[in-house]
Structure formats: structure tokens, C-alpha cells
Structure 1
């Protein structure tokens, strides 16, 4: 009887151990799925209508078209044979299991700071929480010299860092959590930090005032995130979780970031990111793009549009194509139509993003907190380059806005980039 009790107790203990292990693994998979959302992995490694993480998405770069890889646990076409160490090298060093280098379209310079614990959670998720997909991705084939992957070793030596992420002493746990998410998994610097001639981020951490000082993605100008003047932490949280707030709506690559990544993060993490961004000093000597007499200038433009007197071509185009949604005062409708009066996308030095929206249009993503999709039509087929230039020039000088005029030549360049992008994406 005693032996029977011992055996039964041992089996019960084994059963409890297995259940605890399963529970721990389940929690680790859930944690890894959350981190993969924070890293926006699905956006680059999934084609529209395709299976998650199966790769094949064409990524347009100055070097040519780079195709994302299959990162499902398929042993032939995916990463199923990767050890955790090999996975970590790919994530943080841009080094494949076969020893070949990845191109920095994979933001490994930013992922360098991802902690070992988070790497383990991500590895567990991709190996045990993602369905394997037996699908080969198109081979990336760049022209010489970019086709020589070994050259990335030299690029890495020059432009990446071996320093691990370290919290800042004296800052709160919340600020440090936001800093970690922004600098590593969120890889915000990939778009919002200026790049050098070698297409490297000029800064990887906030030790440099160039970090998050504004960048360029294709023909889209990503604004500075330093300090986020005029926006409260709450405004930033609402923007990241819904794709819109009382000031702006997402456009360009940020639409995908909100749809696939930011809306899925906890309010606590979004607030940590927002409060961290608010701690960054603004770009030194940055132009505001706004008039000193902002209120009086807004009144003048509003009166001029309301009375429809003395309107130039740009103002007429605004009345006919924009005023119904964005209003005579340029303030739009809070949470629905973004304001143009004082909007960064309107007054920033490079008008490319503004021209992109006018030509291509935009729409907000459907998110959990704001499921309705708000579209803006594009006018590429309705307005010629001179008309787009006239409209953009009006927007950049109306109300409180004070930014340089736009030329038809600038519109032609953006239109060409859009057509090239559409052609390369096919």
C-alpha cells in the first residue's frame, strides 16, 4: 500500500509539473506574441491577403526591392531549424543561420537592444505559437555592389552599436519602459531619425539630438518626435491606439504601424512611450512654420474663404475640394477630419508628405477603439501638377501656417515616385 501511495504521489507530482510547464510555456508564447506586435513583425513579413509571417512583401529601398523572408517555423522555407542563439543573431545582428548578412530593411540596428528575456519570449512564440507555412519568398536580387552581402559586415562595423540597452539612472520606471519600447522593439528611429549617405540612422539612441529629429521614408517625410510640442501624453496615446486624435490622422507607413502594432499595445505601454517622447528636448532652432499672429491670421483666412472674395487659384481649389471636410477655419472636425491649420504635415520644410496625401489620399485604419475607417480621396487623377502645387501653396500659407510655396516641379517628382513605387510593388 505504501508503494502504491508513493507511485500515485509521484505521478500526481509529475502531472502538476507538466501542467505548470505547459502553463509557463503558454504564458511565454502570449508574451512573445505581444512583443512581436510591439516590433510590428507582421507588417513586413506578411503580404496582403497572405498567411501571417510567410514573407514575400516587397520593401522598396534606395538600393532596390528587398523581399521579406518567411519567419514561420517551417524547417525548409522558414526559421524552423534556427536555434535560439541563431534567432538572436538574426534579430540583433542581422546575421542569418547560414552566416550571410541581412540587409538593414530588417531593423536589427534598433533591435540590438532587445533584452535576452524578450528574445527568448519571441523565439518561443515564433517556434511554438506561429503556424508553419511551406512557402518560399522571392529572392532579393540587388544590383552590384549592393548584391554583395558580405559588404554589410563593414556597414555594421561603421553604423551599428554593440552596446546593450541600459535604463537611464534617475528616470522613472515608466519613462525607462517607454524608452526601451521606442528605441528597440518599436524601432521608431527607423523612420523618424535622419539617415546619412550610407542609408544609416544618424543616431540610434537619445544620446544624440538627431535621434527622432525627423526622417524620410520613400517619398514621405516622417516628422520629429522630440518633445511632441502641442500634443499632451494623452493626445499621443489616442493617436497611437486609434490612428487619429484632435489634431491629426495617420498617413503613409504610420497607418500600418497603428493597424498592426500600436493599437495592440497596453495603455500602460503606450503611455510610457508617450511620456518618454515628451522628455526629449525639441530639435534646436527648428522652425515652427506658424505665424506670430496665429489667431488673427486664422480669422483673416476664414473670413476670406467664407466670403469667397479675392480668392487665388489655390484658395478656389480648397473651397471646391477640401473645405467641406476641413472647414473654412482649417480646423477640421475633432477626431474625424484632421486639422490643417497648424498641422505639422502641412508646414514642415519638406512638403513631400503633404503632396503624397493630396495625390494618393489616405484613410485611417480600423482599430479596436476606433473601428470606423475614415477615407480621404486622392486627387492624382483630378488635379494636374500645377493645380496640386497651387493647392499645397495655399495650405502652407493659410490661417496660422507660414511655410514656403510649392512648385509644380516638386509635385511632378512626388507623382513620379508614387508611380515608381506602385510599379516596383507589383
Structure 2
């Protein structure tokens, strides 16, 4: 067996094939290793409802274009969790996306990435989930998707097309650090699941791996080695700092799903593990996003001060403002300053030299205003309030959010990008609708029409055969 063991906190086993369990591991060591692997695989983020749910008891709603998919209870509860799973059943769910009862999981559970997990690591994860966490008897909400997505067996065909059942194999031409980074990035942390665009059937388009993808209202940016669209000009220290804290001054701040990944997983990895991810990402084939000529963080502020506001004694607007300058001054300038430079310690970040405002895709700017930012790293809690429907202040309309976004883009970010009220409305509804979700309302009527067509063809064929037989009989009768 050829294996790599991390010199940092994460205990990995990256084996070529035929890996066997280390018989010298005590049960406590195995459980501890499984715990570290669960952290690296970011299991907590999706299987725990933040601030309300018990660890790994499920119920987290993963909003997808085809509907909300609720995560399952993966505690060792024999009643509601996976307590009765054998290790083979656990491995099949993890790497093949098939539950113990034979039902297929949706790829919101990144089994297409976990398919690369080694047997050694699956064994450690099984030990942790069976003996390292408390069982919770709790039934999460049931996933109910519209037809035909509610037919889980349809995933058999999808898996035949897109699931590659290949365990991670060491590349002997690369360094140990690179191989460790490849395993972390592609398998455990499943970065490709968010940062790779999807095809018409919502499978990852691996020809454009890591080149950026829309995730509901958010946009997972290009993280290829391209110096303009990707991370090619980031230093190793900046990449490690971003993965560890979700924040790099003059570059980017994590929000949405990336904030969850930093909070629940990446900040807990060792510096060595994060460096190995940086080493691997630098080797990813560069892909330039069409139309980009300047890095997203390359846009500097242009210094115009926002206009004054007219606010009544109760804190509500005397007149509903529509000017981006007025709205910015009322909602944003107290934290980000009128010149967009942010606070001195950058806990409220600058709006220039910021990928959320300088990118060709403004989704993250709009989503941050609509959804806010919530990220806890160590003892630091970064919180930006949302101004959507759940806002504790006066919610903003689509027109107002578009006006603020355009003001920010024109004065602090990429002036060639603009946002319309329709763009905000789409983000408010959960983001752009992919093709497969777009055609969903037409699938059932199409099936009905197809069924009628088949019936008509069968009836027509029978009528044609009877007429032909009758005509043939008539010809024979005349001939006689």
C-alpha cells in the first residue's frame, strides 16, 4: 500500500488501490481520524441546522433549482438515523449515492466527489459516525420535489452518465503536497461541486472545471490558475488566509455557501492542508471568463461622496428614495463609509479592490444585500444584515437594491456592469433557473401528449392492418 499521511491536523490516507485498514489504529485513534475527515468533508454544514439543530441530525434545507432538498439524519440513531447501517451500506451511500433501503440520493449530497474516498478513510468515517457522535432521534422534513424529480430511481440513469466510480489515485509525477491538495480539493472538500458550471442535466461540466458557477443567487467564482479571472495572481499566503478566515484585504470576503465552508470546515484544517490546496489550485488549467480583462479585485474607488438623506424621526424615510446615492448613504455608508473604503480594520470591508463589486457577474453584490453575510471564524463574527424580506430594518424593493448596486458598481467596482430590478427579482426567487428546472412544468403535459400519441399510433396501426387485410381479402375474392 502506498499512502500519504498529512503532517498537519488532518489525518488523510491517500492510497492507489487495495488500501487496507491500519490494524495498529486503536478505536479512539480511528474515531479521531474520522472526526478530522468529517470536518474536511464539511459534513456539518449540510447535516446540521445552524443555531437550532443538534449536530448531524439533518433538516438543513438545500435550496436547488428543482426544489428544496432536506438533509438526512446521519447520527447513529437506530430509529431515525443511520445506526443500523453496515459499513458496506455506509460506503455505498457515501460513494454511490444509494441509501440502505435502496433509495437514491440526489447529487446535492456530493457523492460524485466522495466517490474518490479511499477505503481507509471510509472506514474511519464509519467509526466516527457510529461511535463518535451522539444519536439523535429526530425526523427531518421530507424532501418533496415535483415530477419527474420525485422519482428517485431516475438517478440510476443519471449516475450511469455522470458518476465516475474511481477512487483517488496518487499521481507519481507530482509531489506529496500536490497529491494531498488534489485529494482535499476534489474529494473531501468537493470544491468542484460549487465552482464548476453544470450542463443541461445539472452534472458538472468537467471540461470547464473550477471556472465559476451560479449557485442560486450566489456566484462561486473562477478559481482556476488564470491570472485575470482566477486566482493566478493571489499569493500562497493570501490563498491560505482566505481559506482560513474567509477574508483577505483588497481581494475578497466569503459569504453564502463559502462562508459556511470556512466556518464549518476550512478554518479547522491545518496550515499544511490549506497550503496543499493552494498548491493544487495553482496547477489547475487556467480558464479565462469571457469579457474579463482586469482581475475582479483590480477596480479602485473613484471617490464620489454619496448624497444626504431625508429620514423621519421614527427612522423611516420621509419620502421613498430611489436614488442610488441616497440609498447608499442611508443603508451602507455607516459601515462602508461614504467613499466605500470600509472601516480601518476592514471588519467592514472596502467596496473597491473587492471581487464582489469588480467581477463581471454582480450576483454576489446583489445576494449580499438581499441575504446578508454571516461568518464566524474563531472569536470573530462577521455580520452584515440582510435587506430582503427577513430584514429587521425597512426592506428594500427590487428597484432600490438595483439602484444601490449600480451606484456601488459605478463608484467603487466594475462600471461596465449593471443591475436591473429584474436581476434582483430573479435573485430574490433563488437565482436563475437552469434548463432542466425550466422545462419541468412541461414534462408532465409532454408525457400525457406522448402517451396519447402512442395510443393513437397503436390504434392507427391496428386500423391500417385491418384495412389492409380487408383489401387483400377483397382482391383475392375478385381473383377467384
TM-score band, normalised by shorter chain:
0.7 to 0.9
**1:28 and 2:38 are equivalent in the alignment:** no
Paired with 1:57 and 1:196, the residues of 2 have a C-alpha distance of 25
Alignment check: 8 A CA contact 2:360 2:414 kept: no
Paired with 2:277 and 2:89, the residues of 1 have a C-alpha distance of 30
Alignment check: 8 A CA contact 1:213 1:224 kept: yes
Q: Provide the residue aligned with 2:210 in structure 1.
A: 212
Deviations 1:367-413 (A, max 9, x none): 22xx1213222333343322221221122233462332111221222
Q: Provide the residue aligned with 1:363 in structure 2.
A: 374
1:258 to 262, 265, 277: 262
Gaps of 5+ in 2: 1-21, 226-230, 309-321, 389-393, 432-480
Q: Provide the residue aligned with 2:435 in structure 1.
A: none
Shift of 1:328: 5.3
Q: Provide the residue aligned with 2:418 in structure 1.
A: 405
Deviations 1:53-112 (A, max 9, x none): 111222222222222111111223211221211111110000111222111111000111
Alignment check: 8 A CA contact 2:68 2:145 kept: yes
Structure 2 length normalisation: TM-score?
Answer: 0.74
Q: Provide the residue aligned with 2:457 in structure 1.
A: none
Paired with 1:275 and 1:403, the residues of 2 have a C-alpha distance of 33
2:288 to 284, 288, 303: 284
Q: 1:24 to 1:64 in 2, by over 3 A?
A: same
1:350 to 352, 355, 361: 361
1:416 to 421, 424, 429: 429
Q: Provide the residue aligned with 2:9 in structure 1.
A: none
Deviations 1:276-312 (A, max 9, x none): 11222332354436499x78x74xx22x33899xxx9
The SS at the match of 1:374 is strand
Deviations 1:333-366 (A, max 9, x none): 454222321322223333222111112321331x
Deviations 1:110-145 (A, max 9, x none): 111111111111011111111112222333222221
Q: Provide the residue aligned with 1:242 in structure 2.
A: 245
Paired with 1:101 and 1:417, the residues of 2 have a C-alpha distance of 25
Paired with 2:430 and 2:295, the residues of 1 have a C-alpha distance of 32
Paired with 2:295 and 2:86, the residues of 1 have a C-alpha distance of 58
Alignment check: 8 A CA contact 1:107 1:187 kept: yes
The SS at the match of 2:68 is strand
Paired with 1:307 and 1:198, the residues of 2 have a C-alpha distance of 47
2:47 to 30, 33, 45: 45
Q: Provide the residue aligned with 2:68 in structure 1.
A: 65
Alignment of structure 1 residues 166-177 onto 2, 5 Å: 166-177=169-180
Paired with 1:179 and 1:35, the residues of 2 have a C-alpha distance of 15
Paired with 1:399 and 1:78, the residues of 2 have a C-alpha distance of 49
Q: Provide the residue aligned with 1:76 in structure 2.
A: 79
Q: Provide the residue aligned with 2:401 in structure 1.
A: 388
In the comparison of the two structures, how many residue pairs are matched? 383
Q: 1:53 to 1:22 in 2, by over 3 A?
A: farther
Q: Provide the residue aligned with 2:384 in structure 1.
A: 376
User: Which moved further from structure 2: 389-398 or 248-257?
Assistant: 389-398
Q: Which has the larger radius of gyration?
A: 2
Shift of 1:261: 0.9
Q: 1:400 to 1:378 in 2, by over 3 A?
A: closer
Q: Provide the residue aligned with 1:108 in structure 2.
A: 111
1:120 to 119, 123, 132: 123
Paired with 2:275 and 2:64, the residues of 1 have a C-alpha distance of 32
Alignment check: 8 A CA contact 1:289 1:401 kept: no
Paired with 1:156 and 1:37, the residues of 2 have a C-alpha distance of 26
The SS at the match of 2:181 is helix
Structure 1 length normalisation: TM-score?
Answer: 0.82
Q: 1:81 to 1:384 in 2, by over 3 A?
A: closer
Paired with 1:230 and 1:399, the residues of 2 have a C-alpha distance of 21
Deviations 1:155-191 (A, max 9, x none): 0011111222223332221111111101001011111
